[in-house]
Chain A
Amino acid sequence: MAFAAFSSTAPPPTTAPPPTTAPSTDPAARRRSPVALFLLLPGILYLVLFFLTPLVSLLLTSFQAPREFGDIGQYDYAFRWQNYVEVVTTYWPHIVRSFSYALAATFFALLISYPLAYFIGVKARKWPLLQSLMLVLVIAPFFISFLLRTLAWKQLFSDESFVVQTLKALSLMAPEAHVTGTAFSVIFGLTYNFIPFMTLPLYTTLERLDVRYLEAGSDLYASPFHVFRKVTIPLSMPGIVAGTLLTFIPAAGDYINASRDFLGGTGTQMMGNVIETNFLVLQNFPAAAALSIILMTVILVIVSIYVKRSGTEELL
């Protein structure tokens, strides 16, 4: 009905309605219009079905207690908050490791991606072809499954690999040392896998960076270093925040890179691996659920503090 007023084919009303009752001219009526709600419905349904329901289920599972005289993997709904105490006391090194690895990977990804994005977005503006080519190269790894790519790195880092053999031959590595299964290889894998997620948001911000601000900074006695620190960085903050969030959040929960089947070892297990083991191997569903809830809460707290501190609330 709201569109009838605009329709040119609609027959003219025999009596002109008072203008206030016309649905298209009265803002209050438009606000109450069910069309907006109707349009939101699929999204809301989707969220309720696939986010809210699992979340509630996860929360309930995390408080479950083992069934008396039950089999392995049999639990009853209860309010066993001790689950949380148990997982924290058992797995605190994994929790700490998860966040420190994710932090390190985010840091290195930013270190590599920022100059790359700056080159593509600012320096290469004069050559649009080069710009597109480099963007394609950034996205190119997505054409191969990241599992395969991570496995490829495992091959490259294995003890028999050319890289490791050469390093050992040059005495740059101790003969008994390994690369896979170390913190280095896990952080390397995380950094490598998340670089595109860091580069793309940085690129979109830097691509819009007005170089006239940089010229103004230089005109006002700021050296290139100061221009970068005082003008370029603050102006690219939205990209930095988006990129670091897109890297940090999935990296903290990642269980592929740190897995023993890929780049990790027994000493590099992260929360994702522990959750996986608890759920699939030990069938300790409450512990896995409690760990998931802890992971989610800690990420939420860290992210909200970070966004608040970086002064880009308008982003979210």
Chain B
Amino acid sequence: MAVGAFADRGADLELVGIEKRFPGFTAIENLNLTIPAGSFFALLGPSGCGKTTTLRLVAGLEEPTSGRILIAGADVTNRKSFQRPVNTVFQSYALFPHMTVLENVAFGLRRRKIAGPVAKAHEALLLVELDHLAHRKPQQLSGGQQQRVALARAIVNRPALLLLDEPLGALDLKLRRQMQLELKTIQEEVGLTFLHVTHDQEEAMTMADTIAVMNKGRIEQMGEPQQLYELPKTSFVANFLGQSNLFTGPVVSTTSTAIAVDVSGQKIVVPLERAHRVSGEVTIGVRPEKVILHAEAPVQDTGRNVLGPGRVIDVSFSGVSTQYLVDVPGVGTLVVFAQNMVFGPAAHVGASCWLSWNVVHGFGLDDDPAQSPRFEADLDTKTIAQQRRSSLLTELEEA
């Protein structure tokens, strides 16, 4: 797509074998990713996992050490950021302080010499409901309003690909929910491809069609939000996307439909099609809301896994549900979410209890329980000094 025209639809984004090394550490290692046109794609991960670097590579603000970036099939790896059909909503918004809101929004249109920049800027401001503030300076707006201006400034250009760098991070919860809905609506209305980088798993799950969970410069798992949640592949995904109860043990028997794992003497069954590994030491798990708390030992049932007896060590009430921490000797501490169907907690701290869950709710991870660290440690003093410095710098920037 030429930079001088509006995109009539979103474009595919393809990252092929991307690698990015900074002095002293590897930010991204062999990243392959295809984002289909018109989708809302979320890159989810903790800070420092390489997600923002990925975004900056796509925007052209960083150069990859190796690999190629293709937008709508065209190789843009060697193009500068101003030559790419991409716009970014920055985490800091980066609204030009010396221009009015309207000038900010019209900036990209003017640079591309698109006819009627002022009228189009007003249209974009109407979309984010800020047209009445068009002649203010960005500093005179609230955080939420600035965020919407930043969004208008990006989408007014109708980029084939819109990059969102944690743009909702600075907003309060209520405004963030509202903006999430608005973003989703805009994306559907305009039909652009959105690449959204965030560390907020809830935000990623409510907004994105596809989520890629990133950790230490690599994509751990990619898929639809529900699929990722219900069937995580690694312990990182299982714990970053919601909470999980994980157990490790050897596979003791295998049938045509399920595997049985010995967890400190108690047999836990996982369906075969939900287990990524079927022999040797495996890690299996279940989501806390799938687990039911029993005051007495439940009746044996082949359809349910039972753990117990255990002791309730903590009860915390959170409105819709109550979270129980249950210590099961030999297994560890488990988390249980129970809907508040009755008044008051179903169990008190110190009460003994049993836990059970439907066999079909269990999942088996792909992790090797005895996994080695992903990156070779760089241990010379110069590297350590550089890493310390860069981490201090980011800390200072965040503060």
Interface residues, chain A, CB within 8 Å of chain B? 210, 212-213, 215-224, 226-227, 230-231, 234-235, 237
Contacts and interface: CB of A to CB of B under 8 A. Distances in A.
A215 B59 CA distance: 10
Contacts of A215: 61, 81, 90, 94
A216 B112 contact: no
A216 B90 contact: yes
Contacts of B80: 218
Contacts of A230: 107
A218 B112 contact: no
B87 interface: yes
Nearest to A223: B82
Contacts of B92: 212
Most chain A CB within a 10 A radius of its CB, from B60, B94, B96:
B94
Nearest to A226: B111
A188 B3 CA distance: 45
B94 A213 contact: yes
A220 B97 contact: no
B61 A222 contact: no
B94 A212 contact: yes
A176 B80 CA distance: 53
Chain B: interface residue count, which band? 20 to 34
9 contacts: A213-B96, A215-B61, A216-B88, A216-B96, A217-B107, A219-B86, A221-B82, A223-B82, A234-B98
Contacts of B96: 213, 216-217, 231, 234-235
Given A215-B94, A234-B98, A235-B98, A221 B61 contact: no
B111 A221 contact: yes
Given A219-B82, A223-B82, 19 more contacts: A210-B94, A212-B94, A213-B94, A213-B96, A215-B61, A215-B81, A215-B90, A215-B94, A218-B81, A219-B90, A220-B82, A220-B157, A221-B3, A221-B82, A221-B112, A222-B107, A224-B82, A234-B96, A235-B96
A220 B61 contact: no
A222 B107 CA distance: 9
Interface string B66-88: 00000000000000111000111
A220 B153 contact: yes
A234 B80 CA distance: 23
A218 B61 contact: yes
A219 B86 CA distance: 7
Residues of B contacting A: mostly: loop
Contacts of B112: 221
A246 B90 CA distance: 37
B108 interface: yes
Most chain B CB within a 10 A radius of its CB, from A210, A215, A216, A234:
A216
A220 B98 contact: no
Most chain B CB within a 10 A radius of its CB, from A220, A224, A235:
A220
A139 B60 CA distance: 38
Nearest to A219: B88
A223 B82 CA distance: 6
A131 B281 CA distance: 56
5 interchain residue pairs of minimum CB distance: A220-B108, A216-B94, A221-B111, A234-B98, A218-B81
A210 B138 CA distance: 15
B20 to A, nearest CB: 17
A220 B111 CA distance: 8
A219 B3 contact: no
B280 to A, nearest CB: 48
Contacts of A212: 90, 92, 94
Contacts of A218: 60-61, 80-82
Contacts of B111: 220-222, 226
A220 to B, nearest CB: 4
A224 B83 CA distance: 11
Contacts of A221: 3, 82, 108, 111-112, 157
B107 to A, nearest CB: 5
B82 A222 contact: yes
A215 B61 CA distance: 7
Contacts of A217: 96, 107
A219 B61 contact: yes
Nearest to A237: B98
Nearest to A215: B61
Contacts of A227: 82
